[in-house]
Amino acid sequence: SEKKFASCVVVLAPEHEAWFNEKSEEHLRDLESAVAALPAMARPPAEAAKLPKLFARGRLVDATVKIAAAPSAPYTLLVADDASGGGYRQMSHTGHQITCIVQP
């Protein structure tokens, strides 16, 4: 079965930017697994959007999470793919648009 992805905006306080960027791939992987483990992610997007802010705790990052429903969700997401020599690839979207305020 194809993995489905949510779109996410990461918000950092200025004093946390250097820390996050130093190991951004590792921090993003940790954030992704922490957010994926939230029970709210198993709910339909419109239902999850009604929840108050949530808290996700990873191994490396903590995040305050707000979920919104994407327009006409779920849909196909086109993402830039440097690995394929600079084209795009299609990814199946869950319909969850997430904003994460991230801190160490």
From CA 30, how far away is CA 27, in angstroms rounded?
A: 5
* Res 32: pLDDT: 94
- The model's pLDDT over 59-92, given as tens digits with 9 standing for 90+, comes to 999 999 999 998 776 677 777 777 767 677 778 8
Q: What global pTM score does this model have?
A: 0.82
Phi, psi of 40 (to 5 degrees): -60, -30
| Exposure on the CB side of residue 38, measured as CA atoms within 13 A | 28
Phi, psi of 97 (to 5 degrees): -105, 120
Average pLDDT over residues 15-32: 96
